[in-house]
Chains A and B, each alone.
Chain A
Amino acid sequence: MDLASLPLLSLVVFIPLVAAVILLFVGRAYETLMRTIALVSMLLDLAASAAAYYFFDASSAAMQLTEYHVWVPTWGISYKLGIDGISLFLVLLTGLLGPIVILASWEDIKYRVKEFLISLLALQTGMMGVFVSLDLFLFYVFWEVMLIPMYLLIGVWGNPARKLYAAIKFVLYTVVGSLLMLVAILALYLMAGSASGEYTFDLLKLYDFPVPIYAQLWMFLAFFLAFAIKVPMFPFHTWLPDAHTEAPTVGSVVLAAVLLKMGTYGFIRFAIPLFPNAAIDSTWWIMVLALIGIIYGAWVAMVQVDVKRLVAFSSVSHLGFVMLGMFAFNVRGVEGSILQMINHGLSTGALFLIVGIIYERRHTRLIEDYGGISKVMPIFAVFFMIFTLSSIGLPGLNGFVGEFLILLGTFEVYPWFAVLAATGVIFAAVYMLWMFQRVMFGELTNPKNVGLKDLSYREIVVLAPLVVFVVWIGVYPDTFLKPMEPSVKQFLKQVEVKKAAVLDQENGKKLSALDLAAQSHSRRAVNDR
């Protein structure tokens, strides 16, 4: 059978779910077998996403590898999948992290292993689904489906003291946003349906529907809230430190690496192209929030005493950059923004793995409990250093390329925003290096740290692929930027065109209103005579 004729994206989405179902029938005692099944399925999933990359035509801006099946014809709901240069790398990132998290949790999770693996696999399906859905309804289903396994991951395998608080906070925050989004989706569906006569949730068709300006603002705000909470943008970020801190290691990894990207991806795939006028009009305040996030996140990260919380707040800062670049609405800003999503996934995901590795050995997250770890764990120190530098945005590693494009893109349109955002680059160095110093350098003062074992082969295998990409993106970003470019240009053009169309439509209305007024005026004039 020809590989190209396979429904690749469906495979990408559902391989993990199939494995989850298989796991249901495996006896609880066979832990290693279950882990192996999960690992193999994740590797298959990665292979499927790699195949998707292989068949992806980098020179085209169109949706590719599309699959279409009617699902609920009466309501215009369809099963429609496809990827373009924007979602391609998010799918690959998710695919890459799948096997990594299974491997990373190999010795960490010893309790309810079966349920744990099933949750991770279901989560993978949900995440992949969000990135490849081209039907609003289907998207919403995956969006909500994803919540449940994440809730369980935090609530069941989290840190006993506060796991329930964190899990509930995470779910409530997200649900509040997504319910409003659901309302907006339905409103859009009805509005577009009544205008065109075709009731459909098909995203590509809805792209072409010019939403009247008065409705755009409200719908955009509803989408904004859902996505801004997920990103998270200041001031909707307070679920993040709690969820990250209390989640088990791999929970934090998936949360940071992939889940946060759903918010930023949501903006670029849904909120902005559907409601371009409202989005562009909102540029200034969204940029202000992004900017506050960058600096505020960095400052608060600096004074944290808990390593995981520190990394969590650093995410607030990094995601601020992503939002900033996206709302610059130019090629460099948006490309930098997308690349930075990937970069953040790699380096922050890796940092959570790093923290997890020492947490597993010492069962503490407090910075003050460490110190001098370099001495006992030299290999670990090398990996930690690389990811720290990647997070700081050192040229030659991935973070720099993204941040630089974002700042340059922003500078071209709003120089002062870029100037202020660039200070975030200074603070990033401060909080990361200070933390690194307190954990890794200095003398080994705490006797509990003396006998720590350096990385095992399994742990090296977990971290090494991330290093490869961290360096690859830094040294040869073309691999990633080139397939993005057509889609990004298309995105920008689409926003422009649709914005103009809506404005034309509004002007048309005004004109016809003016016509009416003029007519009635002349009629009255006639009557007067």
Chain B
Amino acid sequence: MFDLVWLIPLFPLIGFFLNAVFGREWPEKVNGWVGSLSVGASFVVACLILKELLAVDPASRSVEKVVYTWMVSGNLNVPVGFLMDPLGMVMMMVVSGVGFIIHVYSIGYMHGEVGYRRYFCYLNLFVFSMLILVSANNFLLMFVGWEGVGLCSYLLIGYYYEKKSAADAGKKAFVVNRVGDFGFMLGMFLLFVTFGTFNYTEIFAAAPKQLVQGGILVTGITLLLFVGATGKSAQIPLYTWLPDAMEGPTPVSALIHAATMVTAGVYMVARCSILFAMAPISLYTVAVIGGATALYAATIGVTQFDIKRVLAYSTISQLGYMFMACGVGAFASGIFHLMTHAFFKALLFMAAGSVMHAMAGELDMRKMGGLRRQLPWTHWTYIFGTLAIAGIFPFAGFFSKDEILFYAFEKHLGFWIWGAVAAIVTSFYMFRSVFMTFWGESRVDAHTAHHLHESPPIMVAPLVVLAVLSLVGGLVGIPIIPHWHVFGDFLAPVFAPAKSIIDAGAHGGHHSLALELGLMGISLGIAVVGFFLARWMYITNPSAPDEVIKEFKGLHTLVYNKYWIDELYDFLFVNSIVRFSRFLWKYFDDAVIDGIVNGLAALVREWGSGLRRFQTGLIRDYALSVLLGVLAVIGYLVFR
């Protein structure tokens, strides 16, 4: 079965081709099911391979399969090859599994759209690229997937290309990602110059021997790679594209901008865990950036009224948690949160999509309220998602987030406080969105209210599946009791080398059971506090939000406008470069260079027309010049 790993990315590619080449005449349903089933087939193959991998001894669960040689130049040899290890398998399962569910949901959600076939083509192409990204056995092939998902994200954000905001958002996403990719590429160059290969296994095996622990080279490599991660995973300072990316269709937000693509950065950092472990400064940077983003984005989430934007900032914030986990050395916890987040955030987005479906595309929560009566399924699944993200026991988010906070605490109290504050804010804004959307009085206008309806089964069924996963998904990672953390044990061999490097530098010390339980209690308490705060402000005391806004007007304006970072970037980078380029074009290219070129031509012409006076064609003029010449010669002879 290992030999068939290439089928995993191949199926969605086939789906893409079928729809792109032959799909024009097919009915909508066929387009949708071809797209969905191709991803489903990948999931099945991934399951079979996982089963086979589980049969192997845990220490040797790392199988490589090369399909063909892609690029050869000198001693550079990059194959199209795949790596099957626990980390890769988790990612492949999440991508193809959640991807399949979202595809099915899209069949209903996109019903009647003009570009239905185009949508499924792009979506399949995306899954193909994403699977390449997570299954590649070398950095360059990962980069192919990395850029490929960026392209599909660009195409899908700009799906409604007639809207200028959508086309702008797509372009912004691509360009900001390119800034990150610039760092990624330089990191790869350094890797190649150091190791002479792009292959993971070879690099990670050679790294401890060839690199100095904490040296400048490994720090440089990892920081550059992390720049790439901040672009793809929307971390400070390259996060600005993700909120705008909500211009795309909602299932796209669920799949690309919540569950899979944006987690690629986390995957990459986890994949390079050995390198990061050797560079404490980089690890520290990852933790600080992750923590800062977690809190920063959460604060913006509190002030937004657009339900998808709330979820977008929430995604940025949750990704921050994952990076913080990696930064404190808890790579497995980061990946655990990545998986549970894929479940509950995809669920939240798709439930929000179901709301939009009912509300004729409305996104503003101020125009919603009381929807739980008309949309019972959507309401309950959304609640499940909220409970999971807020970290209420026994939902999936409780386990994964608690684990991150625990490791953060072990590393430094500051990280824990940071994360805990962000957790309160998270719980608050999520329940705020529940209350504003589904509870309280209806603020829906009469026309829309008339049409309110629950979504069709093809959309509700995926919601239910994900709601169940959001509930039970965390049970694979039960802490404290030995061997109940199935997920952690499965991933452990991948991160073992990194862990041994980090532990070697740490003071050791074993944590007590009481501490672990105590922290758990605090996290749970935090989530509950957020819930009551939101309930008090939006249910018991509906005028409270306005009063708070009035009280802290300046602060609210600052946060509501996202700290004016977009405007700052526009001013600093976009406008200044455009203006300077115009200057170069008009005043350097046209004026200076062409000025010299045309000036030379004019000079020659002037000179020529000056000389022309001597070429009049009149005999007497020539006679005159002969005379002058004779005189000159005589003069010379006389006065010599």
Contact = CB atoms under 8 A, between A and B. Distances in A.
B460 interface: no
Interface residues of B, number: 47
Given A303-B581, A395-B147, A430 B175 contact: yes
A302 B577 CA distance: 10
B144 A396 contact: yes
Contact of A401 (B71, B158, B167): B71
A238 B589 contact: yes
B597 A169 contact: yes
Contacts of A159: none
Contacts, number: 127
A433 B174 contact: yes
Interface string B165-198: 0011011001100110110011001001100000
B307 to A, nearest CB: 26
B581 A300 contact: yes
B186 A299 contact: no
Contact of B71 (A169, A238, A394, A481): A481
B584 A422 contact: no
Contacts of A426: 175, 178-179, 182
B70 A476 contact: yes
Contacts of B170: 437
Contacts of A405: 71, 73, 76
Interface string A371-389: 0101100000000000001
A332 B584 CA distance: 33
Chain A: interface residue count, which band? 35 or more
Contacts of B185: 404, 407, 422, 425
Contact of A303 (B76, B143, B174, B585): B585
Contacts of B167: 437, 441-442
A296 B580 CA distance: 11
Contacts of B70: 475-478
B580 A422 contact: no
B496 interface: no
A407 B189 contact: yes
Given A443-B162, A477-B70, A394 B581 contact: no
Contacts of A454: none
A299 B579 CA distance: 10
B171 A433 contact: yes
Interface string B38-81: 00000000000000000000000000000011111110100000
Contacts of B582: 303
A408 interface: yes
Contacts of B567: none
A423 interface: yes
A396 B179 CA distance: 19
A452 to B, nearest CB: 16
B269 to A, nearest CB: 20
Contacts of A408: 76, 189, 192
Interface string B567-602: 000000000011011101100010001100100010
Interface in B136-152: 140, 143-144, 146-148, 151
B164 interface: yes
A335 B143 CA distance: 21
Given A423-B182, A443-B162, A299 B73 contact: no
Contacts of A239: 597
B439 interface: no
Contact of B143 (A238, A299, A302, A395): A395
Contacts of A169: 597
A332 B74 contact: yes
Nearest to B188: A408
B116 interface: no
A232 to B, nearest CB: 11
Contacts of B74: 330-332, 335, 485
A442 B171 CA distance: 13
A336 interface: yes
Contacts of A235: 593
**Could you tell me the dominant secondary structure of chain B's interface residues?**
helix
Q: Which of B69, B151, B178, B580 has the most CB of A within 10 A?
A: B178
Nearest to A336: B73
A419 interface: yes
Q: Which of B76, B146, B582 has the most CB of A within 10 A?
A: B76
Nearest to A239: B597
A500 interface: no
A491 to B, nearest CB: 13
Interface in B582-628: 582, 584-585, 589, 593-594, 597, 601
Nearest to B590: A238
Contacts of A335: 73-74
A485 B73 contact: yes
A208 interface: no
B161 interface: yes
Q: Which of B74, B144, B151 has the most CB of A within 10 A?
A: B74
A362 interface: no
A299 B161 contact: no
Interface string A473-489: 00111100110010000
A284 interface: no
Contact of B144 (A331, A395, A433, A442): A395
Contacts of A304: 585
Interface in B181-228: 181-182, 185-186, 189, 192-193
Interface in A324-353: 330-332, 335-336
Contacts of B181: 425
Contact of B73 (A389, A418, A481): A481
B162 A375 contact: yes
Contacts of A355: none
Given A238-B597, A332-B74, A299 B589 contact: no
A433 B186 CA distance: 23
Contacts of A395: 143-144, 146-148
A300 B585 CA distance: 6
Contact of A440 (B73, B144, B161, B193): B161
A411 interface: yes
Given A238-B589, A299-B577, A482-B72, A411 B193 contact: yes
Contacts of B161: 374, 440-442
B189 A418 contact: yes
B63 to A, nearest CB: 24
B193 A412 contact: yes
Contacts of A478: 69-72
A332 B580 CA distance: 34
A434 interface: yes
A442 B585 contact: no
A476 B74 CA distance: 16
Contacts of B164: 441-443
A188 B10 CA distance: 58
A172 interface: yes
A394 B72 contact: no
Nearest to B177: A429
Nearest to B604: A172
A472 to B, nearest CB: 12
Interface string A88-107: 00000000000000000000
B71 A429 contact: no
A375 B167 CA distance: 14
Contact of B175 (A173, A401, A429): A429
Interface of B: 68-74, 76, 140, 143-144, 146-148, 151, 154, 158, 161-162, 164, 167-168, 170-171, 174-175, 178-179, 181-182, 185-186, 189, 192-193, 577-578, 580-582, 584-585, 589, 593-594, 597, 601
List 9 A-B pairs, minimum CB-CB distance, nearest first. Answer: A331-B74, A299-B581, A395-B144, A441-B167, A441-B161, A411-B189, A303-B581, A426-B178, A300-B585
15 contacts: A235-B593, A303-B578, A304-B585, A332-B76, A395-B148, A396-B148, A408-B189, A411-B186, A412-B193, A415-B193, A418-B189, A425-B181, A425-B185, A441-B162, A481-B73
Given A332-B74, A394-B151, 5 more contacts: A423-B182, A429-B178, A442-B162, A478-B70, A478-B72
